[in-house]
Structure 1
Amino acid sequence: MRIGLVLILSLFFGFSGTAQQKRFVTVKRALTLMGSSFEITVVASNEEIGYINIEEAIAEIRRLERLISSWDPMSQTSEINRSAGIKPVIVDYELYALIERAVQISELTSGMFDISVASMDKIWDFDGRMTSFPSPEKISDGVSRVGYKSIVLNKQNHSVYLKEKGMKIGFGGIGKGFAADKVKELLMSKQVPGGMINAGGDITTWGTKSTGEKWLIGVDNPDRDSRFFTWLPLVESSVSISGIYQKYITFRGKKYSHYLDPLSGYPSTGIKKVTVFSKSAELCDALATAVYVMGKERGLALINQLGGIEVIIVDNFNRIDTSSGLLLKTTK
């Protein structure tokens, strides 16, 4: 996810009404959470209340990270991974429900989104240290432990069992969207009238800013000086952006994304950027990953079958395609 390509601006509409209308302020904080850059913006009656709301949001994100992190040895997710091929693990309903939804998205995308692709995390390294591709044998061995159909869920006791030893699950393709939705839900329950959660490029909004302005997202074309070719409003909605930005490897002058095809075990190619819009940040996050892996034709075909979801795809030739329900007004 690339935050630098996402710019939230405002249209100044102002509040209509009388002089008695209540005034609000916008309070914002940027920090690193869940290994990514977060920006939390809330609308409040005064700055003190706004900062209290932001602290509540931060506490919620940290709670969720302790639940879903595969890097924290004390998390329930780590316990599931340690018990792969050995025994089921009973987990909190919140985690169970997330895994259940992830499996449903795997079914929807014919396995192109799969949280068990985390089983490949020791084979590929996208932090710049790799100097050659892993061997085909090593990739094939990793793929043998990938497969959402080997995630066994028991709704009665909320247990999760990974059938294969060495199998792992991880939430890199859905976790930040999940967190954004949960924080939005928390703040709305506390009557926060408006806000925006930017979870490393997974963004969700509600209400308006303190002046009544709408949230807008600027959509750009990679390799075109980061200039925005259109602006789209986010009204009670969410967006997720996937692309080759910070996490990739380069071999013989060609960039390979960190989005792995769960079926082949190799990095996906053909697309530079995917932007998905829907009500749920979690769903946006997962579908952006799936579309990136599926490729342009299959990705567009999938999104066009789903209600209330739209996509913008920029391919390796900088061609821009959109789903059938999205009309773009380009800027000069």
Structure 2
Amino acid sequence: MLKRYFLFLLCLFLLTNFAQAQRLPTKTPQQYKKVLLLMGTRFELAAVTTDEQLAWEAIAAGVKEIQRIEALISEWQPTSQTSEINRNAGIKPVVVDEELYELISRSNRISRITGGAFDISFAAIDKVWHFDGSMTKLPSSEEVAASVKKIGYQNIILNPADHSVFLKNKGMKIGFGAIGKGYAANRARDVMREMGIPGGVVNAAGDLTTWGRQATGESWYVGIADPAEKDKVFSWLTADDIAVVTSGNYEKYVELAGKRYSHIIDPRTGYPVSGLKSVTVVCANAELADALATAVSVLGADEGLRLVNQLKGVECLLITENNELLTSENLQLHYYKNKPLTSGAVREENTQNR
């Protein structure tokens, strides 16, 4: 009898607690975001999870990874391996970490498939074009030709046996301005995802990569800026587990003799590119999208689309100087009105990197 009584009490306890648990609100995912200055530009890292502490820990780990990459690849930091390569141009090879060696190797492969439209040795260009308002006349053809003499990815000599890098000619330099942010975004995403963050975004001033879903369960949406009014969005792309990178000529340019010259320079000729206002590349890899956005801007609409259409898993959207919208063959373009980039609860931490 006593045993049955205790069994009754146990059942009553379990039923009561089950009922109370049913009445408790389910903990829903939230989005946590941090904005700060890294690699000389604005980075935004967002994590979607039900665990706030894990979110901030993952974001901090992502920031630390970006800082580590900057210390490795920056040509502006004298202690970086990239600076060591540049100091020894025309002198001797420099043995570097496998990570940097492989990044340079991938960069050279992109240079080959783009015919030099993308080239990390562009860092050696002599500045004859200035986009700070100081230019009053066009540089001479001789000045322009001389400005690109030290550029040439073919003269970046790689030795896989010892992971050494040799810049063949004195005065050569390499820099990762057109690929480094995309690589850093990839790595920060991987670090956060490996820590158990099911969804998020890493946005490096427009070099953006996403994974998972928003806190609401919706897809991520990426706004494509209107070149005529850069603070407005003219179209949206769905962006699930994808990278989206945009390169545009509408933010930095110079006008001389009634003509506008873009800040995007063709590394093969030294002249500003023309024909395209905006290039958006979509693929799974932010590093590749970063490099191809620059390359397609240089190649122009016809040659750029021809290249992208041959690359599996790569899509692009172009806006010409005549405001014509062109897309690659398989681009999934969606239009939304008044659709926010993110929705649901957002907790944000704004920070300046000091």
TM-score, structure 1 length as denominator? 0.89
| 1:329 CA drift (Å) | 4.3
Deviations 1:157-188 (A, max 9, x none): 11111111111111111010010001111111
Deviations 1:44-63 (A, max 9, x none): 33333222221111111111
**Residue 274 (1) aligns with residue 279 (2):** yes
Contact kept? 1:43, 1:50, Cα under 8 Å: yes
Distance 1:35 1:259 in 2: 18
Deviations 1:275-308 (A, max 9, x none): 0000000000000000000001100111011111
Per the alignment, do residues 71 and 128 of structure 1 end up closer, same or farther by CA in structure 2, a change over 3 Å counting? farther
**Paired amino acid for 2:55:** G
1:59-74 matches, within 5 Å, as 59-74=64-79
**Residue 98 (1) aligns with residue 103 (2):** yes
Which of 51, 55, 59 lines up with 1:50 in the alignment? 55
Off by >4 Å, runs of 4+ in structure 1: 19-22, 224-227, 329-332
Which SS does the other structure have where 2:107 is aligned? Answer: helix
| 1:331 CA drift (Å) | 5.4
Deviations 1:186-237 (A, max 9, x none): 1111111111000010000001122212101122431157543432211110
Distance 2:128 2:174 in 1: 15
Which of 136, 147, 153 lines up with 1:148 in the alignment? 153
Which of 188, 195, 204 lines up with 1:199 in the alignment? 204
Deviations 1:132-171 (A, max 9, x none): 3333323222211111000000111111111111111111
Aligned counterpart, 1:309: 314
**Residues matched between the structures, number:** 315
Distance 1:225 1:208 in 2: 26
Deviations 1:16-52 (A, max 9, x none): xxx9975322100111111111111012333332222
1:164-175 matches, within 5 Å, as 164-175=169-180
Per the alignment, do residues 329 and 65 of structure 1 end up closer, same or farther by CA in structure 2, a change over 3 Å counting? closer
**Paired amino acid for 2:297:** Y
Per the alignment, do residues 62 and 215 of structure 1 end up closer, same or farther by CA in structure 2, a change over 3 Å counting? same
Distance 1:330 1:216 in 2: 10
Aligned counterpart, 2:247: 242
Q: Give RMSD over aligned pairs.
A: 2.0
Contact kept? 1:221, 1:314, Cα under 8 Å: no
Aligned counterpart, 1:294: 299
Aligned counterpart, 1:285: 290
Which SS does the other structure have where 2:162 is aligned? Answer: coil
Per the alignment, do residues 190 and 110 of structure 1 end up closer, same or farther by CA in structure 2, a change over 3 Å counting? same
| Unaligned ranges ≥5, structure 2 | 1-23, 338-354
Which of 110, 130, 135 lines up with 2:135 in the alignment? 130
Contact kept? 1:221, 1:318, Cα under 8 Å: no
- Greater mean deviation of Cα atoms: 23-32 or 309-318: 23-32
Distance 2:242 2:27 in 1: 25
Distance 1:206 1:240 in 2: 15
- Greater mean deviation of Cα atoms: 126-135 or 267-276: 126-135
| 1:127 CA drift (Å) | 3.4
Distance 1:136 1:169 in 2: 24
- Kindly, what percent of the aligned residue pairs are identical? 49
**Paired amino acid for 1:219:** I
TM-score, structure 2 length as denominator? 0.84
